[in-house]
């Protein structure tokens, strides 16, 4: 009889160890990110350059620059676009008027 009791306890312990999400088949820890309009190149809020790792980066081709003015001139000349606003102008509500959409 002792063996049966111990085997029952081990079965009960196994059931207790299972998490509720395994039993129900639902995963609770998945988070879904909503798309940000600033990451979509077709959005009017999209900025063609970004500052990362102590440099300014063109988001169209990936080239990096030391100065924001240089990356803005690069976008205007090399990608045949209008000159994008400076970060100061962006913070005050400016929107980049593109010549063409990708």
How far apart are the C-alpha atoms of 25 and 40, rounded to whole Å? Answer: 34
When pLDDT is averaged across residues 72-79 and rounded to a whole number, the result is: 96
Region at 83 (left for phi over 0; alpha for psi -120 to 50; beta for the rest)? beta
Of residues 74 and 12, the one with the higher pLDDT is 74
| Structural domain spans, the chain | 45-91
Cα 27 off chain centre by: 22
Length of the chain: 102
pLDDT of residue 12: 47
Of residues 49 and 42, the one with the higher pLDDT is 49
The helices-and-strands tally (H runs, E runs) of the chain is 4, 3
pLDDT of residue 14: 52
How does pLDDT run across 12-45, given as a tens digit for each residue?
445 555 555 555 555 556 667 777 777 888 888 8
């Amino acid at each position: 009889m002792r063996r049966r009791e111990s085997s029952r306890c081990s079965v009960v312990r196994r059931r207790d160890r299972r998490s509720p999400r395994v039993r129900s088949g639902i995963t609770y820890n998945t988070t879904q990110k909503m798309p940000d309009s600033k990451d979509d190149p077709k959005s009017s809020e999209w900025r063609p350059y970004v500052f990362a790792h102590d440099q300014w980066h063109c988001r169209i081709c990936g080239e990096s620059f030391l100065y924001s003015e240089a990356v803005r001139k690069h976008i205007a000349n090399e990608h045949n676009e209008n000159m994008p606003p400076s970060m100061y102008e962006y913070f005050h509500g400016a929107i980049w008027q593109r010549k063409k959409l990708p």
